[in-house]
């Protein structure tokens, strides 16, 4: 407050006590009367005059409006003691005095209120300023103690505040730091990108972030990530940005170190995986060698048994040519051994997926009934066999011989696992399965063929490997490990699957699930040996067979059937016969031939030379040309075969020609 306004500081903020107001009012009136008495004489000291107005002002300002009005009333009362004069009308003068005095009191009262409000406003402003200074000091102290860069910008982008970390990063004075052009310390590789992102961020007036390398005062580039938040004025107007920047160099370095560690770890993992793959490959090679050893031993054992029967029977017939009864028995034994050898070969080919199945509609219950005598002879009398078919109307599409082989395998395995006095039960039933109710089978109607035994059972480790090829729990020389794997392969090739349920010491159950098909009136279970086909007309047969012994045997069978035979040992020789113009009514060729032409190639060229020439393909192993053979219109006669099968095949392919 200026010196001229210092008396206003004496104006009380509240109405003073009664005695204080009385003293102020009396003092101001006494001073006014003293001045009047000194100027006009003491007899006129109490009269009405202009000297009363300052007293009213003082009383109103320093004691309050009520004391101002009280002072006016006292002045009027005292003024009656002294005549005003004779020149002017006393009433008019009195009225003018009252009006002027009243206005003086009113104006003084208003002035007092205004001065009090002004003083209060000044006090509030001073308090607000002090609070602002304290707040700013606290904010600056907080900002300066923060380990991150902080700044505040105006609308035009100029900085109006920066904290200690900001200034220390540049190692410049405070004002210099505020005006510093950060483009001077931006890494050249980041400059263009950061400027573009900054312009876009500031133009958006929304929160935005930047990350780049900045050169610190010591010359080292540090990664700084800044986040700028818009700030708004009291009326909601944009006022600039508040920014925070923190050093991410250590995090970047840690990220690079982690990446390096990850790369190193990936390299080590790759090395470990490569070593594991090598170990697995070595293990697989060892397992293959072991499997081949098991297969070789088992198959050799079985074939040695079969060859023993065949060789022994032939030797006895050679030693006793005139003993007809013995010859018949030996022939029957040799034929039985040969058929078992054929069955074993078919199982091996089916397991290896090298021999295609020939599915046909079959009533399994009827087939099991026909097979039951053979099963009983294979199982023996030490174990009780029960065959309980319960699905007489169920028809499935399977290869009958492969189905019989699968059931025989299951029955023999059950016999080997079942002690004397045990029970083996074979049963069938028609079931309806939901999707994936049994392994990977889709929903549908199936025939379940179950083989139960009361044998020793299997533990969990054996169950998991039971269907593996060449896996067997039998002693060396007692099995090839192909039984259950052949059964599983047959079931899968037939559109179904096989399951195993077993408990150690309580027996096992193997179930075949085969999809049912619509009944076919022509479907009938496979019966015993086919009847010999009726002899047809004599044909001129071109035989292409590279195996000399097989060629001689087939030639003998053909001649026994009444046909003429032209024997060749490869495809080129057979084609030469056809090109020569020789008469040929039928081509019988092995599928696998020496040279660069297979039996399929020979047949194709043969029908080009002789358009209507009938062709029969023959093989015991189709190898890589299996698909090519299946796509041809010519039948495939499987080895081994006898005169009956050969005669039937010839009749089928030549029937249109003969007719």
Structure confidence by residue, pLDDT tens digits, 167-225? 889 888 888 888 888 889 999 999 999 999 999 998 999 999 999 999 999 999 999 99
Q: How far is it, in rounded angstroms, from Cα 358 to Cα 487?
A: 16
Residues 387 and 503 in one domain: yes
What integer is the mean pLDDT of 119-129? 77
Q: What pLDDT does 553 receive?
A: 82
> Sorting pLDDT into bands at 50, 70 and 90, what band is 78?
confident
Q: What pLDDT does 411 receive?
A: 86
Position 268 pLDDT exceeds 60: yes
Q: How many CB atoms lie within 10 A of CB 352?
A: 13
- Residue 535 in domain: no
Give the three-state DSSP class for 477.
Answer: coil
What integer is the mean pLDDT of 445-472? 80
- Residue 522 in domain: no
Enter the tokens of residue 315.
């030797």
What integer is the mean pLDDT of 271-294? 65
Position 612 pLDDT exceeds 50: yes
Residues 372 and 494 in one domain: yes
What integer is the mean pLDDT of 395-412? 86
Q: What pLDDT does 484 receive?
A: 75
> Sorting pLDDT into bands at 50, 70 and 90, what band is 254?
confident
The per-residue pLDDT for range 596-607, each reduced to its tens digit, is: 888 888 999 999
Tell me the β-bridge partners of 427. 388, 450
What integer is the mean pLDDT of 569-597? 89
Last residue of one domain, picked from the residues 500, 515, 530: 515
Length of the chain (residues) = 659
- Residue 349 in domain: no
Q: How far is it, in rounded angstroms, from Cα 588 to Cα 565?
A: 10
Percent of the chain exceeding pLDDT 90 equals 18
How many domains would you assign to the chain? 5
Nearest Cα residue to 589 out of 629, 556, 561, 538: 629
Residue span of the structural domain in which 654 resides: 540-658
Residues 397 and 502 in one domain: yes
> Sorting pLDDT into bands at 50, 70 and 90, what band is 81?
low
Q: What pLDDT does 523 receive?
A: 44
Q: How far is it, in rounded angstroms, from Cα 590 to Cα 567?
A: 12
Q: How far is it, in rounded angstroms, from Cα 568 to Cα 582?
A: 13
Residues 114 and 157 in one domain: no
> What mean pLDDT is reported for the chain?
78
Percent of the chain exceeding pLDDT 70 equals 76
Residues 455 and 328 in one domain: no
| Low-confidence winner among 20-24, 64-68, 293-297 (lowest mean pLDDT) | 293-297
- Residue 226 in domain: yes
Planar angle of CA 338, 341, 346, nearest 5 degrees: 130
CATH of the domain at 579: 3.40.50.2300
What integer is the mean pLDDT of 102-127? 72
Last residue of one domain, picked from the residues 247, 275, 307: 247
| Low-confidence winner among 98-102, 558-562, 647-651 (lowest mean pLDDT) | 98-102
Position 528 pLDDT exceeds 70: no
Residues 91 and 181 in one domain: no
- Residue 341 in domain: no
Enter the tokens of residue 129.
């300023």
Residues 506 and 364 in one domain: yes
* Residue 298 exposed, middle or buried by CB count within 10 Å (0-12, 13-18, 19+): buried
Q: How far is it, in rounded angstroms, from Cα 89 to Cα 487?
A: 148
Position 152 pLDDT exceeds 60: yes
Residues 161 and 231 in one domain: yes
Cα torsion 274, 276, 282, 287: sign? negative
What integer is the mean pLDDT of 457-469? 74
Residues 548 and 646 in one domain: yes
Nearest Cα residue to 606 out of 467, 598, 550: 598
Tell me the β-bridge partners of 232. 238
Enter the tokens of residue 456.
């020793």
Q: What pLDDT does 99 receive?
A: 63
| Low-confidence winner among 17-31, 99-113, 583-597 (lowest mean pLDDT) | 99-113
CATH of the domain at 214: 3.30.450.20
What is the number of helices (H) and of strands (E) in the chain?
A: 18, 17
- Residue 352 in domain: no
> Sorting pLDDT into bands at 50, 70 and 90, what band is 588?
very high
> Sorting pLDDT into bands at 50, 70 and 90, what band is 241?
very high
Residues 415 and 508 in one domain: yes
> Sorting pLDDT into bands at 50, 70 and 90, what band is 656?
low
Q: How many CB atoms lie within 10 A of CB 426?
A: 22
| Low-confidence winner among 31-45, 140-154, 422-436 (lowest mean pLDDT) | 31-45
- Residue 188 in domain: yes
Q: How far is it, in rounded angstroms, from Cα 476 to Cα 27?
A: 140
Last residue of one domain, picked from the residues 247, 272, 296: 247
Residue 309 host element (H or E): helix 249-319
Angle between helices 90-145 and 52-63 (to 10 degrees): 40
Residues 105 and 44 in one domain: yes
Residue 567 host element (H or E): strand 564-568
Residues 497 and 370 in one domain: yes
- Residue 343 in domain: no
């Amino acid at each position: 407050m200026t010196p001229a306004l210092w008396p206003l500081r004496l104006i009380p903020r509240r109405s003073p006590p009664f005695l204080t107001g009385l003293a102020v009012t009396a003092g101001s009136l006494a001073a006014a009367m003293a001045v009047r008495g000194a100027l006009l004489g003491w007899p006129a000291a109490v009269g009405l005059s202009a000297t009363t107005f300052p007293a009213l002002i003082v009383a109103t300002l320093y004691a309050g409006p009520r004391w101002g009005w009280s002072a006016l009333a006292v002045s009027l009362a005292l003024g009656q003691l002294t005549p005003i004069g004779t020149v002017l009308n006393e009433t008019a003068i009195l009225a003018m005095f009252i009006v002027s005095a009243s206005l003086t009191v009113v104006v003084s009262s208003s002035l007092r209120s205004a001065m009090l409000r002004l003083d209060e406003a000044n006090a509030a402003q001073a308090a607000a300023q002090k609070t602002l200074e304290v707040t700013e000091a606290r904010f600056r102290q907080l900002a300066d103690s923060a380990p991150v860069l902080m700044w505040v910008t105006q609308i035009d982008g100029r900085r109006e505040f920066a904290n200690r970390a900001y200034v220390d990063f540049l190692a410049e004075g405070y004002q210099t730091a505020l005006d510093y052009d950060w483009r001077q310390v931006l890494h050249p590789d980041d400059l263009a990108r950061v400027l573009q992102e900054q312009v876009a961020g500031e133009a958006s007036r929304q929160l935005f972030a930047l990350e780049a390398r900045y050169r610190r005062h010591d010359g080292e580039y540090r990664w700084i990530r800044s986040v700028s938040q818009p700030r708004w004025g009291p009326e909601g107007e944009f006022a600039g940005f508040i920014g925070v920047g923190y050093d991410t160099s250590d995090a970047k370095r840690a990220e690079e170190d982690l990446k390096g560690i990850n790369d190193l770890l990936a390299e080590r993992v790759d090395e470990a995986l490569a070593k594991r793959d090598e170990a697995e490959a070595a293990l697989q090679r060892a397992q293959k060698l072991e499997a081949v050893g098991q297969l070789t031993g088992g198959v050799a054992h079985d074939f040695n048994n079969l060859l023993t029967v065949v060789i022994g029977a032939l030797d006895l017939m050679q030693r006793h040519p005139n003993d007809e009864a013995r010859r018949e028995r030996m022939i029957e034994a040799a034929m039985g051994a040969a058929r078992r050898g054929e069955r074993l070969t078919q199982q091996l080919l089916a397991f290896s997926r090298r021999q295609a199945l020939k599915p046909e509609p079959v009533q399994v219950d009827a087939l099991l009934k026909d097979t039951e005598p053979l099963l009983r002879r294979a199982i023996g009398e030490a174990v009780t066999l029960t065959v309980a078919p319960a699905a007489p109307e169920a028809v499935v599409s399977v290869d009958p011989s492969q189905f019989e082989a699968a059931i025989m395998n299951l029955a023999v395995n059950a016999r080997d696992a079942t002690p004397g006095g045990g029970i083996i039960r074979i049963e069938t039933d028609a079931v309806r399965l939901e999707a994936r109710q049994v392994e990977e089978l889709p929903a549908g109607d199936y025939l379940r063929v179950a083989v139960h035994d009361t044998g020793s059972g299997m533990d969990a480790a054996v169950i998991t490997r039971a269907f593996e090829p060449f896996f067997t729990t039998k002693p060396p020389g007692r099995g090839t490990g192909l039984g259950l794997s052949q059964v599983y392969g047959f079931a899968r090739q037939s559109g179904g699957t096989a399951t195993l349920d077993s408990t150690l010491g309580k027996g096992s159950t193997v179930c075949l699930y085969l999809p049912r098909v619509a009944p076919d009136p022509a479907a009938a279970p496979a019966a015993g040996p086919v009847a010999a086909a009726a002899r047809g007309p004599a044909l001129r047969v071109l035989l292409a067979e590279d195996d000399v012994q097989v060629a001689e045997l087939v030639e003998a069978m053909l001649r026994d059937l009444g046909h003429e035979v032209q024997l060749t040992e490869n495809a080129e020789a057979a084609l030469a016969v056809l090109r020569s113009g020789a008469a040929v009514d039928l081509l019988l060729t092995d599928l696998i031939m020496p040279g660069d032409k297979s039996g399929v190639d020979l047949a194709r060229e043969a029908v080009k030379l002789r358009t209507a020439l009938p062709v029969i393909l023959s093989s015991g192993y189709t190898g890589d040309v299996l698909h090519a053979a299946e796509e041809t219109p010519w039948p495939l006669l499987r080895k081994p075969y006898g005169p009956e099968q050969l005669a039937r095949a010839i009749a089928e392919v030549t029937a249109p020609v003969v007719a």
